[in-house]
């Protein structure tokens, strides 16, 4: 049975803290809004993915690792980045909670790659990634900067192709900001993030496959 968005919202609320829930609702709205610009026929599906994307974010690292074992997800313990675990566990947790009818492969991958991005990422995945970065409750200076960059430029883009190029440049800018922060904090940079940045720089003809 297909669960309504309201049902999903009520269930997600049980798994996250209040602050995370506000962010979740922000991503739900932003994903829908970006969806109407880029993939109107999937706007509702993007909304659902926004609701689900952080479903395991408040789980402790120990619980994340336990889920990884249960789901058969390989974890590099030596180079563990706890912040990235929730994307890996979240997609599978959401699928097991809501079923494959709700969490199909597109939603699954939207959750899986929402933190790092990846090479050849789909338009659907890019919308979720960006929605997570720029939704309204985000007040980190880079989020504000990226939100402004995207909306200032999208306003002046007339054709669909121009809008896609605004998205492509916004993605590059987001990876630049993320990578700079990771370097400043002396942290590891995930390979998928580097590959995603290089992909958007090299490939101007994005989202065609
Ligand atoms: Fe998020």
Sequence spans of domains, the chain: 5-202
Pull the structure tokens for residue 111.
């959750």
111 vs 87: CA distance, rounded Å: 6
In the prediction, which pLDDT does 103 show?
97
- Per-residue pLDDT reduced to its tens digit, 20-51: 999 999 999 999 999 999 999 999 999 999 99
In the prediction, which pLDDT does 208 show?
81
In the prediction, which pLDDT does 209 show?
61
Spacing, Cα 103 to ligand 1 middle (Å): 17
Spacing, Cα 203 to ligand 1 middle (Å): 26
In the prediction, which pLDDT does 14 show?
97
Of 128 and 77, more confident: 128
Spacing, Cα 17 to ligand 1 middle (Å): 13
Task: Give yes or no for a contact between 127 and 46, defined as CB atoms under 8 angstroms apart.
Answer: yes
Task: Give yes or no for a contact between 114 and 129, defined as CB atoms under 8 angstroms apart.
Answer: yes
In the prediction, which pLDDT does 39 show?
97
Spacing, Cα 158 to ligand 1 middle (Å): 30
Q: Which of 95, 15, 27, 26 is nearest to 56 (CA)?
A: 15
- Per-residue pLDDT reduced to its tens digit, 143-176: 999 999 999 999 999 999 999 999 999 999 999 9
67 vs 45: CA distance, rounded Å: 25
User: Is residue 91 pLDDT above 90, yes or no?
Assistant: yes
As a whole-number percent, the residues of the chain with pLDDT over 90 amount to 93
pTM: 0.95
Spacing, Cα 156 to ligand 1 middle (Å): 28
Could you tell me the pLDDT band of residue 83, with boundaries at 50, 70 and 90? confident
68 vs 83: CA distance, rounded Å: 14
**Among all chains, which residue has been given the structure tokens 């306003």?**
155
Residue 180 DSSP class = H
Pull the structure tokens for residue 73.
């997800």
Spacing, Cα 31 to ligand 1 middle (Å): 11
Which residues are placed with Cβ below 5 angstroms of ligand 1, an ion?
A: 54, 132
Task: Give yes or no for a contact between 114 and 128, defined as CB atoms under 8 angstroms apart.
Answer: yes
Task: Give yes or no for a contact between 54 and 38, defined as CB atoms under 8 angstroms apart.
Answer: no
How many of the other CB atoms lie within 10 Å of CB of 96?
A: 13
Helix, strand, coil percentages in the chain from 3-state DSSP, rounded to 5: 70, 0, 30
- Select 5-202's CATH number: 1.10.3210.10, 3.40.50.1100, 2.60.120.10, 3.20.20.100: 1.10.3210.10
Spacing, Cα 101 to ligand 1 middle (Å): 23
**Among all chains, which residue has been given the structure tokens 């610009």?**
37
């Amino acid at each position: 049975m297909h669960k309504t968005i309201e049902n999903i919202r009520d269930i997600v609320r049980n798994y996250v803290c209040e602050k995370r829930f506000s962010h979740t609702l922000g991503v739900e709205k932003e994903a829908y809004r970006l969806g109407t610009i880029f993939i109107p026929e999937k706007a509702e599906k993007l909304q659902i993915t926004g609701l689900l994307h952080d479903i395991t974010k408040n789980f402790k690292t120990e619980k994340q690792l336990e889920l990884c074992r249960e789901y058969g997800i390989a974890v590099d313990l030596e180079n563990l980045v706890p912040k990235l675990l929730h994307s890996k566990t979240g997609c599978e947790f959401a699928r097991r909670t809501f079923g494959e009818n709700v969490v199909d492969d597109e939603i699954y991958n939207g959750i899986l790659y929402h933190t790092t991005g990846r090479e050849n990422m789909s338009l659907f995945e890019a919308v979720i990634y960006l929605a997570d970065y720029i939704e309204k409750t985000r007040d980190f200076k880079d989020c504000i900067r990226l939100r402004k960059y995207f909306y200032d430029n999208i306003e002046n883009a007339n054709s669909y192709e121009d809008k896609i190029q605004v998205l492509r440049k916004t993605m590059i800018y987001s990876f630049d900001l993320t990578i700079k922060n990771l370097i400043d904090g002396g942290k590891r940079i995930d390979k998928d993030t580097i590959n995603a940045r290089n992909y958007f720089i090299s490939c101007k003809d994005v989202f065609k496959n």
